[in-house]
Amino acid sequence: MAELDRIPTPHIEAKAGDFADLVLMPGDPLRAKYVAEHYFEDARLVTSVRNVLGYTGTYKGKRVSVMASGMGLPSIGIYSYELYKFYGVEKIVRIGSAGAINENCKIMDIVLAEGACTTSRWAEMYKLSGTYAPTATWDLLYKTYTTALDLGTKVHVGNVVSTDAFYDDDTSAMDGWKKMGVLCAEMETAGLYMNAARLGKKALGIFTISDEIYSGRELSAYDRQTAFTEMMVLALETHLRDK
């Protein structure tokens, strides 16, 4: 249930009921704008605080929202918490970019994050007696995987790592994650998964590989904004099947 007395929140200016049950969440506000303009019918801007854009519309007749998360666990932590807690959003699917660690993951490949390791100390706020393992919501992961099979979209499924640092002084920082079979690195999903678990909501991270950490190959900023159409369609088509 939404907590209507807390709306608008400090970071979202939308009114109660402005968001759909599902919010797609790219990091980049311009990617959110791209999704709304190219895939939504009757797209409406519902929030733009700090230029973090959020839209609601319909996709093939089904209501859906998209909103940027910004970069890093603290940023997605704020926005996902407010959406889950105060706006009554039930599902958030992160549609982001990631850097490939595993040699089988190549530029423009799609990864579904079954689990999200992290270098962040985010879980310490929960005062747990051990190490928490953030994981995707199983039914979202399963439905997205089966939708990918039906669409003929190749996906990798496995562990990712959500890092705090984009520029790491340790040039070998990814070596340990690579030897443990982690597929790619990004900066948000572990925080999203922990918020979802704490609040009894659903979450999934879907990524398009934008760069290969070990080979040095990478996409341009413009491509990261506009070229991830296969991932966007996968998330939206899964939403149509989700009851």
CA distances from 167 to 101, 126, 173 (A): 15, 28, 10
Active site residues: 211
For the chain, give every domain's residue range.
4-241
CA distances from 176 to 112, 156, 158, 162, 181 (A): 21, 20, 16, 14, 9
Residue 27 has pLDDT above 80, yes or no: yes
Q: What is the pLDDT of residue 221?
A: 79
Q: What is the pLDDT of residue 119?
A: 97
Angle at 40 between CA 21 and CA 150, to 5 degrees: 80
pTM: 0.96
Sign of the torsion formed by the C-alpha atoms of 91, 226, 63 and 88: positive
Q: How close are the terminal C-alpha atoms of the chain, in Å? A: 18
Q: What is the pLDDT of residue 4?
A: 64
Sign of the torsion formed by the C-alpha atoms of 183, 187, 189 and 194: positive
Q: What is the pLDDT of residue 195?
A: 98
The tokens for 91 are 């599902």
Q: What are phi and psi of 102, to 5 degrees?
A: -75, 135
Q: What is the pLDDT of residue 223?
A: 78
Q: pLDDT per residue over 141-200, tens digit each?
A: 999 999 999 999 999 999 999 999 999 999 899 999 999 999 999 999 999 999 999 999
Q: pLDDT per residue over 48-68, tens digit each?
A: 999 999 999 999 999 999 999
Q: What is the pLDDT of residue 56?
A: 98
The answer to whether 88 and 202 have CB atoms below 8 angstroms apart is: no
Q: Looking at the domain 4-241, which fold is it?
A: Rossmann fold (3.40.50)
Residue 14 has pLDDT above 80, yes or no: yes
Q: What is the pLDDT of residue 222?
A: 78
Residue 97 has pLDDT above 70, yes or no: yes
